Amino acid sequence: MTAAPPSAAYLYERVRRVIPPIEWPAFSDDIDAILALKRERNAVILAHNYQTPEIFHCVADIVGDSLALARKAMDVDADIIVLAGVHFMAETAKLLNPDKTVLIPDLEAGCSLAESITAQDVRLMRQRYPGVPIVTYVNTSAAVKAESDICCTSGNAKKVVESLGVPRVIMLPDEYLARNIAAETDVEIIAWTGHCEVHERFTPADIRDLREAHPGVIVLAHPECPPDVVAEADFSGSTAAMSDYVGREKPKRVVLMTECSMSDNVAVEHPEVDFIRPCNLCPHMKRITLANIRSALKENRHSVTIDPQVADRARRAVERMLAI
């Protein structure tokens, strides 16, 4: 077995259960450089729960689900924020930190949900359903947020919908999240037809097969999964809610119906839990690597900019959500 080099070796202890020793030398040089660049440039790294363990556990300062990243972005005391996640997350951080530099290491790190709807689509929905409030998932562009009344994440969608005190809302763009929330509330929900390309691929048959192969396994599903998948699961919640469930309930054996890195990251904290790992990769999240985080910090790229007129309206929708 190849020994970890001495420099970032102490960090290897955190991830040794999910990164084989032979892979570590390929990471440690970038990790050392990133840690030094963060100090030099007064930068922090925010990483989503779907980032790979060498990013999530070794260079990130703040980790979490989309809601936590948005909340914690407001308290950042640094000149530069590097968003290890997808573009809409970087835009949200920029909306909340207009005077800071927000960097996304790869501009192509998108999201099938954000791609599924335009600002013009939202304006047409408003015309079609006059007076019905528009709740927009954070997995959207700033331009789409700017046309909305309030944002939500998978962690607070029900709360946001019910906070409006109306019998009917429009919820964009994730059809499955909208239908999963509709099943939990009396508020009528008008949905769009966007889907997450990662979660839409799970099926109820996958869960039945898993239960047969691993008797007693506890199944957790993200609410971007189709409603028939959520119905077969033992629990559904945001990435943070799934992680909290594992910490709280300590199931003997668990499966997370979500993106692949999530199990690795949670497994690091819970060596006593057996993780069964059928999962789907998010190609957008996987565009972020140690190498491009290092380049981002060194070369100040890619700096997120948002048209100020769009930004003011989009910020209102995000801040309204955060006030709940």
Residues that bind ligand SF4 (CB under 6 A): 86, 111-113, 139, 196-198, 224, 259, 282, 284-285
Is 239 a binding residue for ligand 13P by CB under 6 A? The answer is yes
Q: Which does 197 bind (CB under 5 to 8 A by kind): ligand 13P, ligand SF4, none?
A: ligand SF4
Q: Which of 236, 238, 243, 261 binds ligand 13P (CB under 6 A)?
A: 238
Is 224 a binding residue for ligand 13P by CB under 6 A? The answer is yes
Q: Which does 284 bind (CB under 5 to 8 A by kind): ligand SF4, ligand 13P, none?
A: ligand SF4
Instruction: From 98-106, 152-160, 201-209, 228-236, give the range in contact with ligand 13P by CB under 6 A.
Output: 152-160
| Rg for the chain, CA atoms, rounded | 20
C-beta closer to ligand 13P: residue 48 or 100:
48
101-103 and 62-64 strand pairing: unpaired
C-beta closer to ligand SF4: residue 112 or 292:
112
C-beta closer to ligand 13P: residue 137 or 275:
137
Instruction: From 62-70, 74-82, 213-221, 269-277, give the range in contact with ligand 13P by CB under 6 A.
Output: 62-70
Q: Which does 181 bind (CB under 5 to 8 A by kind): ligand SF4, ligand 13P, none?
A: none
Q: Which does 112 bind (CB under 5 to 8 A by kind): ligand 13P, ligand SF4, none?
A: ligand SF4
In the beta sheet, which residues pair with residue 307?
none
Is 136 a binding residue for ligand 13P by CB under 6 A? The answer is no
Instruction: From 27-35, 61-69, 176-184, 304-312, give the range in contact with ligand 13P by CB under 6 A.
Output: 61-69
Residues numbered 157-216 forming contacts with ligand 13P, rule: CB under 6 A:
196
Instruction: From 15-23, 151-159, 162-170, 177-185, give the range in contact with ligand 13P by CB under 6 A.
Output: 151-159
Is 265 a binding residue for ligand 13P by CB under 6 A? The answer is no
Q: Quote the least distance from Cβ 84 to ligand 13P, whole Å.
A: 13
Q: Quote the least distance from Cβ 224 to ligand 13P, whole Å.
A: 5
Is 154 a binding residue for ligand 13P by CB under 6 A? The answer is yes
Task: Return the HEC string of the chain.
Answer: CCCCCCCCHHHHHHHCCCCCCCCCHHHHHHHHHHHHHHHHHCEEEEEECCCCHHHHCCCCCEEECHHHHHHHHCCCCCCEEEEECCHHHHHHHHHHCCCCEEECCCCCCCCHHHHCCCHHHHHHHHHHCCCCCEEEECCCCHHHHHCCCEEECCCCHHHHHHHCCCCEEEEECEHHHHHHHHCCCCCEEEECCECCCCHHHCCHHHHHHHHHHCCCCEEEECCCCCHHHHHHCCEECCHHHHHHHHHHHCCCEEEEECEHHHHHHHHHHCCCCEEECCCECCCCHHHCCHHHHHHHHHHCCCECCCCHHHHHHHHHHHHHHHCC
Residues 107, 109, 114, 118, Cα dihedral to 10°: 30
Instruction: Report the C-alpha gap between 243 and 239 in whole angstroms.
Output: 6
Instruction: Report the C-alpha gap between 229 and 202 in whole angstroms.
Output: 7
Q: Quote the least distance from Cβ 253 to ligand SF4, whole Å.
A: 24
Is 149 a binding residue for ligand 13P by CB under 6 A? The answer is no
In angstroms, how far is CA 286 from the centroid of its own chain?
12
Q: Which of 30, 65, 106, 264 binds ligand 13P (CB under 6 A)?
A: 65
Binding interface with ligand 13P (CB under 6 A):
49, 65-67, 139, 153-155, 196, 222, 224, 238-239
